[in-house]
Amino acid sequence: MAIFEGLSGKLQTAINRLKGMSRVTEKDIKDIMREVKLSLLEADVSFKVVKEFISNVSERAVGADVLESLSPGQQVIKIVHDELVTLLGGTQSSLTVSSKPPTIYMLVGLQGSGKTTTAGKLANVLRKKGKKPLLVACDVYRPAAIDQLKVIGGQLSIPVFTIEGSKKPVEIAKKAIEHAEYMFYDTILIDTAGRLQIDEEMMNELVDIKKTVRPQEILLVVDSMTGQVAVDVAEAFKEKIGVDGLILTKLDGDTRGGAALSVKKVTGTSIKFACTGEKLNEIEPFFPDRMASRILGMGDVLSLIEKAQEAFDDKQADEMEKKFRKNDFNLEDFLDQMRQMKKMGPLGSLLQMIPGLSKAKLTDDDVANGEKELKKTEAIICSMTLKERRNPDILSHTRRIRIAKGSGTTVQDLNKLIKNFEEMKKMMKNMKNFKGLGI
């Protein structure tokens, strides 16, 4: 997540100094905590939150069990990680479900926070879990808000309830529930109106909707790029109407990350989801422990596995395994696997999930070059005929020249791809002889 790149790099630089230390003194801890403190403040984390965080880490780190241990540096790093998990909320907070359907979720937030898109994303998540969601358009003020929700619903094949010409959000919400009960929708997501800033009129309207529909949860959508303003917004909404959970949007933006680290501690409200991009599948449950690991460069293997399971079709995976066993894997299969991988998200965000390969250690140029190579590989394979993809042995010099021209690359690029592909096949052939590898 781009939001944590700057903070992640600085924190890792500070605490990594501890790794090689066979002995850690109170002065060492004090010096490193000073760097951690500056990193957090520069990331726009609330001063009060930073002060408490540093105090907690320092108090635990100067204990005898740490200073006298065999690996004090690793002990301190673990303490930083644990306190970071606590700061982010401790444990993952899931959506609750009504004992009697339909379950109603009311999405609130300022205009521009990404509320309407988030409503669609969340509906899609719930549908994948077996729910039958209905989107409700109650933003009757913002131009094209209803049309936007209709477009999103159409893209996801999720129905959208509207009352044409109505300017009464409470009436729309009430009729939507009646419609949902009649059509057996078990989940309702109400997209409410926002304003450019918090005002009494907006809050009164939200209170009226709340009283009428009695939502299971009120979910506040917060733009993480607004920094400390996001924390102020969360506090205001919680005070005025009550908030059961937060959804952070634009976590792929170039921001300092302070809002994400401050908002749970300041408001006492859990972050339930994080939106990591503009695509309708770029939303994920917020796991404090996984996020803390990413920030500290420890990776996030569980999220990576979940993304892979979501992106790869089980039937295709079984077929691919059989091909590996028979050494029958060709460039057509390779292209298919690349396209499946692209569904998992941008290369940079995937690298953050691999321990030791975070973007704090890889430069932006490294990631950009990796993306460039993947695009080049896809272009080369797409320039081949189906026969050539399935049997690269027939690639004569004239064929290679044609493919290079068609893909905007060089014959050397093609030769390198073929060589790497053959080496990968040999590796997979050798791996299948080892039991337990799942190949």
Beta bridge partners of 187: 103, 133
Query: Which residue segments constitute the domains of the chain, with CATH numbers given?
Result: 2-87 (1.20.120.140), 103-303 (3.40.50.300), 312-431 (1.10.260.30)
pLDDT of residue 380: 92
Residue 305 has pLDDT above 70, yes or no: no
Beta bridge partners of 275: 283
Handedness of CA 154, 160, 165, 168 (dihedral sign): negative
pLDDT of residue 337: 76
Q: How confident is the model at residue 190 (pLDDT cuts 50, 70, 90)?
A: very high
Average pLDDT, the chain: 81
8 A C-beta contact, residue 424 and residue 392: no
Of the two residues 266 and 340, the one the predictor is more confident about is 266
Of the two residues 258 and 270, the one the predictor is more confident about is 270
Kindly report which listed range (99-103, 143-147, 203-207, 398-402) carries the lowest average pLDDT score.
143-147
Residue 258 has pLDDT above 50, yes or no: yes
Q: Terminus-to-terminus CA distance in the chain, angstroms?
A: 31
Largest Cα separation within the chain, whole Å, is 74
Of the two residues 432 and 235, the one the predictor is more confident about is 235
User: In this structure, which amino acid lies at residue 372?
Assistant: K
pLDDT of residue 346: 66
Distance CA 236, CA 203 (A): 10
Q: Give tens-digit pLDDT for 231-240.
A: 888 888 999 9
Helix axes 314-326 and 331-342, enclosed angle (nearest 10): 150
Measured between alpha carbons, how far is residue 229 from residues 52, 118, 232 in Å? Answer: 20, 19, 5
Q: Give tens-digit pLDDT for 124-158.
A: 999 999 999 999 999 998 878 999 999 999 999 99
pLDDT of residue 435: 36
Q: What is the pTM (predicted TM-score) of this model?
A: 0.69
Q: Give tens-digit pLDDT for 346-404.
A: 666 666 555 545 444 555 566 667 778 888 888 999 999 999 998 888 999 999 999 99
Residue 53 has pLDDT above 50, yes or no: yes
